Structure 1
Amino acid sequence: MARIVICEFMDERAVARLEAAHEVLYDPQLVGDGARLRAEAATADVLVVRNLTQVRGELLAALTRCKVVGRLGVGLDNIDVPACEARGIKVIPATGANALSVAEYVIASTMLLLRGAFASSAAVAAGQWPRAALGNGRETAGQTLGIIGFGSIGQTTARLARGLGMRVIAYDAMLQRDAPVFAQTGVEGVGLDELVRNADAITLHVPLLDTTRGLFNAARIGEMKKGAVLINTSRGHIVDIDAVAAALRTGQLGGAAIDVFDVEPLPVSPSLQDCPNLLLTPHISGVSTQSNERVSVMIADKVLESFS
């Protein structure tokens, strides 16, 4: 029987599946108590985390008998994967399980920001009638969506976007422009610069690497179509949030939805306050009732398989 430590929230039905076969400590608050987490990790055969737990340094050193780290999500920037592998620890992400949740967030944000008419409730309730100001929004159909990073999330986003009548172009540093996946999904593979110049909305689905850090800085945002929309659900540090705010204030950007930040929770940020056409969410694009269940069940099943 293995000992499994789950230190962030997991669907309780998946927890029960693990408890039926192994000893389980499930405490979603454990991530906030570093000393206790390290103490529990010392006797863990499996550690299950989300994005807050940093599996490196002192915590990694404490995992003296651990064989598996399960990641309730897909991003691995909070896990020192090479160091885990060097210790014989298998890292298991929930690849694909939250793709639909992220894709729906992207499409909903794109529609909201292109139309620009959904922040008027307070004004209308107060007796104002901003019909002229809000009557020039853009329909989603016919607009060009640019997807940067064409893995499972990017492909799911493309499918939803094409269903709404959008033209979809995509860039992936790991794919040739004529890669079969583009034709199979009805998407045009293009270069990064071409995508930035031509997309009415851009969505990012890339990991945080040296090559993606600062990918959308002030200069690249300045190369986008005037009034285009930018959506980041990948990782902080990929987008310069202060440059986004500045571009929104000048009208270079028509809107932005940011779900991930350099530091989370996001500190008080004067540059973002009262910023027009800006949607900020607390790293929840991949989290829904259904996706949490899918992610949790996938990781539970893979953990059980690893000890079968």
Structure 2
Amino acid sequence: MKVVCTSKLIEFSDEDLRAYDGLDVEFQVIDGSSEEAILAGAADADALIVVVEEISRTVIEGLGRCRAITRCGIGFDTVDLDAATEHGIWVSNVPDANYREVAVHAIALTLAVQRRLPALDAGMRSSGWADWSVPGVHRPDVQTFGVYGLGRIGRRVAEIAGSLGYTVIGHDPAVRQPDVAQLGVELVDGEELLARSDVLSLHVPLLESTRNVIDGAALARMKKGAVLVNVSRGGLVDEVALAGALRSGHLFGAGIDVFESEPVDPANPLLTCEAAVLTPHAAHWSEESVDELKRKVVEESARILRGEAPRTPVNRLPNHGSVG
């Protein structure tokens, strides 16, 4: 069998590939930066491992014998799920290898913005001191931390935020109050989340229903002096509207790790917003998380190649019942 990783961003060692032992697998790595490149190297693949590449309907229709598309990470918005399901291909992800890192990064961005760490650091480096007495800096104990999306990452963020002293509220239509009671999270509707949050942290997938969910109108409904944090997907936020809210002073700041296009276009207005702390889609990163990610993505791929159901499917194939 042939397994193709469509990106050279992640290096797999022989130890990482141990889950394929006994399967007679040929493992290849290609540069899948275009549809043509993916099909040239993977048209005869039995399974794909995908990092950030677009696996479109055109690509899927050109995969002659593929049974599995496994995503190195949580999000799966770059894979055409409908096309994969129509062609009998399992799509799965690895949702639990880096959730702790992402949660910590969300909190780190929050504190960096609220404590004005980049500005203080810049002042120290330029003149040996910095103006620290700036209005808008408050202790967590008097602030409300809003979490939009209470899955694995959102719940971890809520737990850490609560331990820092924030009052934590959350919104997630799929979650009931008893599910988060032990975390001390008060469930509210979307409008109340926007209106009450001093910090609003996003933890939802990018779907058609969530694209630009934080647009100009949503930003206007947020509290004056609030902070927006996004470590999920860039398409959740209207970046032009966010830049406007920062420049006008309506928002105190923003911590952003993900963008509509990556690498970021030099014309992106957030790049010139001093109130924004920006990081390069790095929230997932630690040495431990990458090791765990590589092991689990190979295990998931091997599981499907053995004819077993995936551990973490994101689609459902006919005649396979409910899985996951």
TM-score in terms of structure 2 length: 0.86
Match of 2:218 among 186, 208, 220: 220
2:312: which partner in 1? none
Q: Which amino acid aligns with 2:282?
A: I
Query: What displacement does 1:20 show?
Result: 4.0
Q: Which amino acid aligns with 1:23?
A: V
1:115 aligns with 2:115: yes
Query: What displacement does 1:291 show?
Result: 1.6
Paired residue total: 303
Three-state SS of the structure 1 residue aligned to 2:269 is helix
Cα distance change on mapping 1:86 and 1:111 into 2, 3 Å:
same
Greater Cα shift, 286-295 or 242-251: 286-295
Query: What displacement does 1:25 show?
Result: 3.2
**Partners of 1:116 and 1:134 within 8 A in 2:** no
1:201: which partner in 2? 199
**Partners of 1:31 and 1:37 within 8 A in 2:** yes
Query: What displacement does 1:255 show?
Result: 0.9
2:256: which partner in 1? 258
Cα distance change on mapping 1:132 and 1:96 into 2, 3 Å:
closer
Three-state SS of the structure 2 residue aligned to 1:230 is strand
Query: What displacement does 1:138 show?
Result: 2.5
TM-score in terms of structure 1 length: 0.90
CA distance in 2, matches of 1:91, 1:20: 22
Matches within 5 A, 1:158-237: 158-176=158-176, 178=177, 180-237=178-235
Three-state SS of the structure 2 residue aligned to 1:70 is strand
CA distance in 1, matches of 2:138, 2:126: 25
Query: What displacement does 1:182 show?
Result: 1.7
CA distance in 1, matches of 2:78, 2:86: 17
Three-state SS of the structure 2 residue aligned to 1:237 is helix
**Partners of 2:123 and 2:131 within 8 A in 1:** no
Q: Which amino acid aligns with 2:18?
A: R
Query: What displacement does 1:303 show?
Result: 1.8
Identity across matched positions, percent? 33
**Partners of 1:198 and 1:225 within 8 A in 2:** yes
Query: What displacement does 1:271 show?
Result: 2.5
Q: Which amino acid aligns with 1:277?
A: A
Query: What displacement does 1:53 show?
Result: 1.1
1:6: which partner in 2? 5
Structure 2 gap segments, 5+ residues each: 307-324
Query: What displacement does 1:170 show?
Result: 0.5
**Bigger relative contact order, structure 1 or 2 (CA pairs below 8 A, ≥6 apart):** 2
Q: Could you say what the CA RMSD is over the residues aligned between the two structures, in angstroms?
A: 2.1
Cα distance change on mapping 1:254 and 1:78 into 2, 3 Å:
same
CA distance in 2, matches of 1:89, 1:118: 46
